């Protein structure tokens, strides 16, 4: 009885703790928060100054003692305290709007499938400290497959490639579980860095990360385009030290990111090789599903299809697939409990 009341009055939430962006879904409401996973800290006092959009705006514009960090940027929770602060910020944002704020929410957190047992425990503890009544974890590829409405509980194979900011996570899912998975630290951030390096090398121009990301999104493509795209970028000339503007083309971007894109495709191919043959035949029929913000790069679906000889589909609204999937689990917790991470057994092999 008490449990039912709790469920009625608390605002249960699902969180996608992404390396670049974090999203929050509230039961019965939908997605209510979408903010960059950035925390700005005053290093002199240790005080957290801002989180999310506000903190992102500070990147590269702050005095030396204010550092804006992305605690999950490398795909693992290396900064426990900052992670807890992000979670607390989200949970409190939702919780303070609750009609009965004394009832703490149940929280489902989407975590990268590659993180260790210790890191999972750290996320789970951080969520509890941040104010959750009960914590459930779901692996992000599982959540995005559910968000993409794939039939993950059936025996057929589902192949998911999630290209985020810090990591690309590849997983094969069947019968509600992850059969094969692989994670590499080459994703959107690395492509931005590739563009920075290329512009420095070719044009002796120093540009910032946000400029690189903008140009990648605006004119980037992994295949030659029929229509040439170009855009101006501004930076500082490394020789004269003065500001300068140059015009970059989609061909520049393609050259800059070529090597990293190839590494992502190689990882997809290796995962295909590791997939049991019975599942491969399903995947050949259903196709490979691309998700995460990085999947929006022009031509990537076509290139992966060409290289793997498999159909490739871009999931609808790839930036929100994980949180939408975690939201589906939240709405149907009793039926879908088996897709959650079993914290008691975790990685321990069962005999
Ligand atoms: P994460 O789950 O790791 O937080 P996201 O799925 O939110 O990551 O994706 C963020 C990444 O997607 C960033 O590196 C961003 O540059 C990239 N991205 C977003 N939109 C596009 C786009 N239209 N084209 C290419 N890359 C994009
Ligand atoms: Mg993600």
User: Ligand 1, atom 7: nearest CA belongs to which residue?
Assistant: 21
* 21 alpha carbon, closest ligand: 1
Contact 291, 170 (CB under 8 A): no
Q: Which residue has the higher pLDDT, 109 or 82?
A: 109
* For the chain, percent of residues with pLDDT exceeding 90: 71
- Using the 8-state DSSP alphabet, how is residue 161 labeled? E
Ligand (nearest to CA of 295): 1
In ligand 1, the atom with minimum distance to the C-alpha of 291 is 6
To the question of pTM greater than 0.85 for the whole model, the response is yes
Strand order from edge to edge, sheet including 177-184: 177-184, 168-174, 158-163, 288-291, 312-314
In 10 A of CB 248, how many CB atoms? 24
Pocket of ligand 1 (CB under 6 A): 18-21, 164-166, 188-189, 213, 216-217, 220, 292-294, 296-297, 319
Q: How far is the CA of 294 from the centre of ligand 1 (A)?
A: 4
Give the integer Cα–Cα distance in Å for 280 and 264.
Answer: 19
Q: Which ligand 1 atom is at minimum distance from the Cα of 216? A: 25
For residues 186 and 115, which has the higher predicted lDDT (pLDDT)?
186
Mean pLDDT, residues 64-77: 78
Question: Which atom of ligand 1 sits closest to the CA of residue 213?
Answer: 16
What pLDDT digit, counting tens, does each position of 120-129 carry?
898 999 999 9
Pocket mutation for ligand 1, best pick of 113, 294, 300 (most atoms within 8 Å of C-beta): 294
pLDDT tens digit sequence for 228-259: 999 999 999 999 999 999 999 999 999 999 99
Structure tokens at 151: 């039939």
**For 299-331, what is each residue's pLDDT tens digit?**
999 999 999 999 999 999 999 999 999 999 999
Which is the closest atom of ligand 1 to the Cα of 298? 24
Burial group, residue 33, by CB count within 10 angstroms (0-12, 13-18, 19+): middle
**Per-residue pLDDT averaged across 71-93, rounded?**
81
Concatenating the DSSP letter of every residue in 228-288 gives --EEEEEEEETTT-SEEEEEEEHHHHHHHHHHHHHHHHHHHHHHHHHS-HHHHHHHHHH-E
């Amino acid at each position: 009885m008490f449990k039912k009341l709790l469920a009625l009055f608390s605002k249960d939430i699902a969180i996608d703790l992404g390396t670049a962006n974090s999203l929050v879904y509230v039961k019965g409401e939908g997605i209510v928060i979408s903010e960059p996973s950035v925390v700005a800290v005053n290093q002199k006092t240790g005080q957290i100054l801002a989180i999310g959009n506000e903190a992102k705006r500070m990147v590269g514009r702050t005095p030396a003692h204010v550092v804006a960090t992305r605690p999950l940027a490398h795909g693992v929770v290396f900064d426990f305290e900052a992670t807890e602060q992000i979670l607390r910020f989200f949970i409190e944002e939702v919780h303070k709007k609750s009609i009965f704020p004394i009832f703490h929410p149940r929280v489902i957190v989407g975590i990268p499938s590659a993180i260790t047992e210790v890191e999972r425990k750290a996320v789970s503890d951080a969520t509890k400290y941040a104010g959750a009544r009960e914590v459930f974890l779901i692996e992000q590829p599982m959540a995005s497959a559910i968000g993409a409405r794939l039939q993950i509980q059936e025996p057929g194979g589902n192949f998911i490639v999630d290209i985020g900011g810090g990591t690309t996570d590849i997983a094969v899912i069947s019968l509600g579980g992850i059969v094969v998975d692989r994670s590499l630290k080459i994703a959107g951030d690395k492509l931005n860095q590739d563009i920075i390096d290329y512009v420095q090398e070719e044009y002796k121009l120093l540009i910032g990360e946000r400029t690189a990301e903008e140009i990648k999104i605006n004119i980037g493509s992994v295949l030659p385009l029929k229509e040439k795209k170009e855009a101006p970028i501004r930076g500082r000339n490394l020789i004269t030290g003065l500001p300068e503007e140059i015009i970059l083309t989609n061909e520049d971007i393609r050259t800059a990111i070529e090597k990293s894109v190839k590494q992502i495709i190689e990882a997809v191919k290796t995962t295909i090789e590791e997939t049991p043959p019975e599942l491969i035949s399903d995947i050949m029929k259903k196709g490979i599903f691309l998700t995460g913000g990085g999947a929006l790069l022009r031509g990537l679906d076509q290139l992966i299809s060409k290289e793997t000889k498999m159909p490739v589909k871009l999931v609808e609204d790839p930036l929100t697939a994980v949180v939408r999937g975690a939201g589906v689990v939240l709405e149907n917790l009793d039926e879908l409990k088996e897709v959650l991470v079993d914290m008691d057994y975790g990685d321990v092999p069962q005999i």
